Amino acid sequence: MERIPVAIIGGGPVGLAAGLEFERFQVPYQIFEEDSGLSSKPKAGTILPRSLEIFRQEGVIQGILREGLRFDEVHFIDRVTDKILMRMLMYPMADESLYPFILNLPQSDLEALMAEKIYQSKIGRLNLRQRLLSIEQVEDHCVLQFETPTGHESMEAEYVLACDGGRSVIRHQLGIEMEGVTHPERFLVADFKVDLDRRSGRQLTYLSYVFDPEEWVIFVRQPRFWRFLIPILPDAAEPTASIVIEKIRRVVKNPTLPIELIDMGIYNVHHRTATKWQDGRIFLLGDAAHLITPVGGLGLNTGIQDANNLAWKLVWVLRKWAGPDLLRSYERERAPIARFNARNQAERNRDVMRMKSPIKRTMRNIVLGWMDRAEGLQWQAAHMRSLLGTSYKPTPKKPGLFSQLKTARRFVRPPVEVGDRFPDGEVLDSKGSTRRLHDFIDEGFLALYVQDVRTRPELGESLEGVQKYLLTRFDAAFDTNLREQALYDKGGRLIRRIGAVDGSIYLIRPDSHVAAIISEKDAHNLPTIYHRLLSTEVFREAPTGESLTAIL
């Protein structure tokens, strides 16, 4: 029986992203999809900045940028007063990311672009018409049974990634429950040919949330059509195309608006997460692990981060650079993020849109108006909404109201802490070429020494899977032997942004999250810290007592 290192079940966006992660590290993988082609359903259409960063690492960003629609302004509109309550701006993320914008692209187009790279792969394969029937774990591998056009087939895999969607067969077989709720209300998603740019009476941005207690609407501009998301109340009949068209005309206040239906689908609205994300050698990812209401466009984006978090850990274990306990950190890190995205982002969005009480609506409008004007709050909102603010902080500190108010008034970016995603700033390499910091984590860890190069810091012995570089405001002279490893930080902007103490070392993981911040006096402990991080599930103490060293 053929045995492969990694089997990915499901060729949806998350399964494809997982495949591309193994492609990135050149570890053989196979994807098994039950259908004869990729999805053509009108589902996700909004890709957030953090996912774009991941797509760059996975080598598919060029096609996505070519086909998608970029914009950096989301509107929250009150239907009663027809006023824009808040503009959420993404461009304040320009110092953080190469992609300070949202990109709209239908999920079907995205999947096709991702699959294109997998079809060219020499180490990976996307197998269509292979329905997983059962899975069994034996000592050091899993045995998978598939139904294929030529009969039943078996396959062995060291690890299995369940990316088989909301109705996951694997999750059912493992007896894993989903906790949370399914709302009685459903969702209509309809794609139309319509000219809203000129005929809606206002210039609509490419993502607008129109608030209304009964008939809220989300407008999403796609590269070749407009998409509307409308709630269907619990006892209401499924609307016909003409009823939907009338609704749209009412919302944009244009009773004669020419409008043509392309496609329409009805979906249940859930917010549920799996009670367990790992069972031995099997992991749940994407919708198999979390179902998030489409309000907020977070389901697919959260799933892309799942793949980015888990893949490098599996690669390190398969290469014997890490112990299998490292894999337990996947659930510990990702489950709280999925719960947060489902409850505190998507659900809160839904509640805010359909508020009924006039007092609450007035309060909401005041708060949003205030957020619209406060630079600090705008930055915080964009940081969180873009998912660039996703953090695996071991003990997250929730800012108190007072500190939030202070940040709102005086725009202060928080320093980068252990668990945070490291910002992707611009640096100059030794040849003077402009590079992004994330370029240096494409293949593994980065140990970034924030030290004055003139003090000739010792970078120590080499470590498997780690590149070492200095972040400096002074170029390294040729007689220091550090020239090749020094990255020039123009005006010290990146150093200021991360709030680094001179002499500290940032150990950044391949998924761009900070694994450790090590003080200058603990620099010699870097190999110990690296190896202990990789061999234990949780390691939070500093190896020496009092120091700045903090570890994820």
* Interacting span for ligand FAD (CB under 6 A) from 5-13, 55-63, 445-453, 466-474: 5-13
Does the protein bind ligand FAD through residue 218 (CB under 6 A)?
no
Secondary structure E strands in 225-322: 225-232, 259-274, 278-279, 282-284, 290-292
Closer Cβ to ligand FAD, 33 or 489, answer by number: 33
Helix (H) or strand (E) holding 181: strand 178-194
Q: Does 331 bind ligand FAD (CB under 6 A)?
A: no
Q: Minimum CB separation from ligand FAD for residue 297, in Å?
A: 3
Q: Which is nearer to ligand FAD, 131 or 393 (CB)?
A: 131
- Interface with ligand FAD (CB under 6 A), residue from 84, 215, 264, 267: 267
- With CB under 6 A as the contact rule, which of the stretches 9-17, 307-315, 356-364, 440-448 interacts with ligand FAD? 9-17
Determine, following the binding rule CB under 6 A, whether residue 155 of this chain makes contact with ligand FAD.
no
The residue nearest ligand FAD at its CB is: 12
User: Judged by CB under 6 A, does residue 381 bind ligand FAD?
Assistant: no
Q: Please pick, from the candidates 6, 19, 21, 33, the single residue that binds ligand FAD as defined by CB under 6 A.
A: 33
Other CB atoms within 10 A of residue 285 CB: 32
341 is an interface residue for ligand FAD by CB under 6 A: no
Nearer to ligand FAD, 89 or 189 (CB): 189
Q: Tell whether residue 287 is a contact of ligand FAD (CB under 6 A).
A: yes
Q: Does 299 bind ligand FAD (CB under 6 A)?
A: yes
**Contact assessment for residue 438 and residue 112, using Cβ atoms and an 8 Å cutoff:** no
Q: Does 43 bind ligand FAD (CB under 6 A)?
A: yes
Site for ligand FAD contains 53 (CB under 6 A): no
SS3 category, 46? strand
478-490: b or e for each residue (b if 16 or more CB lie within 10 Å)? Answer: eeeebeebbbbbe
Q: For Cα atoms 382, 342, 508, give the angle at the middle one, nearest 5 degrees.
A: 55
72 lines the binding site for ligand FAD (CB under 6 A) = no
Please name the helix (run of DSSP H) or strand (run of DSSP E) that holds residue 194, with its range, or none: strand 178-194
Whole-angstrom distance, CA of residue 10 vs CA of residue 168 = 9
| Cβ 424 to ligand FAD shortest distance, Å | 21
CB of 52 to ligand FAD, least distance (A): 12
Minimal distance, residue 106 CB to ligand FAD, in Å: 9
101 binds ligand FAD (CB under 6 A): no
Q: Which of 21, 164, 511, 520 binds ligand FAD (CB under 6 A)?
A: 164
Structure tokens belonging to residue 50: 């953090």
Interacting residue with ligand FAD among 5, 12, 68, 376 (CB under 6 A): 12
- How far is the C-alpha of 347 from the C-alpha of 185, rounded, in Å? 13
Residue 39 lies near ligand FAD (rule: CB under 6 A): yes
Does 274 bind ligand FAD (CB under 6 A)? Our answer is no
| HSE-CB for 141 with a 13 A CA cutoff | 14
Does 35 sit near ligand FAD (CB under 6 A)?
Answer: yes
Q: 395: closest CA among 419, 424, 372, 373? A: 419
Say whether residue 132 binds ligand FAD (CB under 6 A): yes
Query: What is the number of other CB atoms lying within 10 angstroms of the CB of residue 529?
Result: 21
Q: Toward ligand FAD, which CB reaches closer, 190 or 498?
A: 190
User: Per this entry, what is the length of the chain?
Assistant: 552
CA nearest 308: which of 539, 13, 66?
Answer: 13
Q: Identify which of residues 68 and 303 has a Cβ nearer to ligand FAD in the complex.
A: 303
Instruction: By CB under 6 A, tell whether 347 contacts ligand FAD.
Output: no
SS3 (DSSP) at 500: coil
CA distance 71 to 522: 44
The answer for 153, left when phi > 0, alpha when psi is -120 to 50, beta otherwise, is beta
Check residue 298 for interaction with ligand FAD (CB under 6 A): yes
- Contact with ligand FAD (CB under 6 A) among 301, 365, 504, 512: 301
Which DSSP category does 501 fall into?
Answer: P
Q: Which is nearer to ligand FAD, 32 or 488 (CB)?
A: 32
Instruction: Considering only residues 169 through 208, tell me which ones interact with ligand FAD, judged by CB under 6 A.
Output: 169, 187, 189
Tell the burial category of 267 from Cβ atoms under 10 Å away from its Cβ (0-12, 13-18, 19+): middle
Could you tell me if 125 and 30 are in contact, meaning their C-beta atoms sit under 8 angstroms apart? yes
Backbone angles phi, psi at 407, to 5 degrees: -65, -35
Beta bridge partners of 183: 269
Check residue 419 for interaction with ligand FAD (CB under 6 A). Answer: no
Number of CB atoms found within 10 A of residue 297's CB:
26
Query: Is 19 near ligand FAD (CB under 6 A)?
Result: no
Q: Which residues bind ligand FAD (CB under 6 A)?
A: 9-15, 32-35, 39, 43-46, 107, 131-132, 163-166, 169, 187, 189, 267, 286-287, 294, 297-301, 303
